[in-house]
């Protein structure tokens, strides 16, 4: 059986109301189970692209999620299937307790109180925060808040997890914990970020967006080994970071890890 791609974008073009072009004919297909990093200079259109994946913005062209077009009548289903995690947890966490934040989606989906409790427990378990249900999110560390905001979308069992700058403002330990958490999630992932080493840790494939178009698309090792390519698109790896295949985390325990 031929499985449908998780995400199909064809000829996506978008300009802001003042006429500023943001996307300029983006073509991108993501297969189910892939982890794809989207990188590029400021103003390349990364965040704009991300907001098209669950219909917050709608441009010209085609966006499909598992074959379902992102149109007004499909929005409810699309937003369940595409879990969007914003850069700032404050945009996602607004309830009195962690439990209420994580329960928000399942409650809106009409699940029974028993099912809601089960989904909240499952989602918090996935991000390593079980037991914090009664806490207020704003009393948690920033790294914990980030993980709660991921749990708020995992509680809806999304098919695609889309993360905007997930590692920004995290201290090194929280960043490492987040990378390990994301590596372990068996779900299609699209990560938009400036943090190239973070992409290297959690994505097999990277897409460089520049001036609203896909400028390069390939496996993360090959693209990150090409300094000229990166420099051409205003990207550089941090000093002393070399993309070494041996450093690449093994996905499923296979390989000579």
Q: Could you report the per-residue pLDDT of 48-77, keeping only the tens digit for each?
A: 999 999 899 999 999 999 999 999 999 989
Place of tokens 């379902």: 68
- pLDDT at residue 148 is higher than 90: yes
CATH label of the domain that carries residue 206: 3.40.50.300
Contact present, 101 and 115 (Cβ < 8 Å): no
The pLDDT score that the predictor gives to residue 246 is 58
- Average pLDDT in the 173-187 region? 94
Residue 125 β-bridge partners? none
The pLDDT score that the predictor gives to residue 44 is 86
- Average pLDDT in the 186-209 region? 94
Q: What is the DSSP letter of 28?
A: E
**Which pLDDT band holds residue 2 (cuts at 50, 70, 90)?**
low
Angstrom distance (rounded) from CA 7 to CA 178: 24
In a domain, 149, yes or no: no
Task: List, in sequence order, every beta strand (DSSP E) within 124-202.
Answer: 160-164, 188-192
In a domain, 143, yes or no: no
Q: What is the DSSP letter of 53?
A: T
- pLDDT at residue 252 is higher than 70: no
In a domain, 35, yes or no: yes
Print the domain residue range for 222.
7-86+159-247
Number of domains in the chain: 1
Contact present, 30 and 190 (Cβ < 8 Å): yes
| Best CA proximity match to 60, nearest among 15, 17, 18, 20 | 15
Q: Could you report the per-residue pLDDT of 90-139, keeping only the tens digit for each?
A: 999 999 999 999 999 999 999 999 999 999 999 999 999 999 999 999 99
- pLDDT at residue 217 is higher than 70: yes
Angstrom distance (rounded) from CA 232 to CA 24: 18
- Average pLDDT in the 165-186 region? 94
Q: In terms of residues, how long is the chain?
A: 257
- pLDDT at residue 21 is higher than 70: yes
In a domain, 135, yes or no: no
What is the chain's mean pLDDT, rounded?
Answer: 91
Q: Could you report the per-residue pLDDT of 229-245, keeping only the tens digit for each?
A: 999 999 988 887 877 76
- pLDDT at residue 251 is higher than 90: no
The pLDDT score that the predictor gives to residue 129 is 95
The pLDDT score that the predictor gives to residue 245 is 63
- Report how far apart, in Å, the C-alpha atoms of 54 and of each of 21, 60, 139, 167, 241 are: 20, 15, 30, 21, 34
């Amino acid at each position: 059986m031929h499985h449908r791609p998780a995400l199909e974008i064809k000829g996506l073009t978008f300009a802001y109301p003042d006429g500023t072009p943001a996307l300029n004919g983006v073509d991108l297909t993501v297969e189910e189970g892939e982890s794809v990093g989207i990188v590029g200079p400021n103003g390349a259109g990364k965040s704009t692209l991300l907001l098209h994946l669950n219909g917050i913005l709608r441009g010209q062209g085609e966006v499909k999620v598992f074959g379902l077009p992102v149109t007004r009548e499909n929005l409810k289903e699309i937003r369940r299937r595409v879990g969007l995690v914003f850069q700032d947890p404050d945009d996602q966490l607004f309830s009195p307790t962690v439990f209420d934040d994580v329960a928000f989606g399942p409650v809106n989906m009409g699940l029974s109180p028993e099912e809601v409790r089960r989904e909240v427990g499952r989602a918090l378990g996935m991000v390593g925060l079980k037991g914090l249900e009664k806490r207020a999110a704003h009393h948690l560390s920033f790294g914990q808040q980030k993980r709660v905001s991921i749990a708020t979308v995992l509680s809806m069992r999304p098919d695609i997890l889309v993360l905007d700058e997930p590692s920004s403002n995290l201290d090194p330990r929280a960043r490492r914990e987040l990378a390990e958490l994301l590596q372990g999630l068996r779900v299609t992932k699209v990560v938009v970020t400036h943090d190239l080493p973070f992409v290297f840790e959690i994505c097999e494939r990277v897409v460089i967006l520049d001036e609203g178009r896909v400028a390069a698309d390939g496996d993360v090792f090959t693209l990150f080994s090409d300094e000229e390519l990166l420099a051409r698109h205003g990207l550089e790896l941090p000093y002393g970071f070399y993309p070494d295949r041996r450093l690449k985390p093994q996905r499923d325990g296979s390989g000579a890890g």
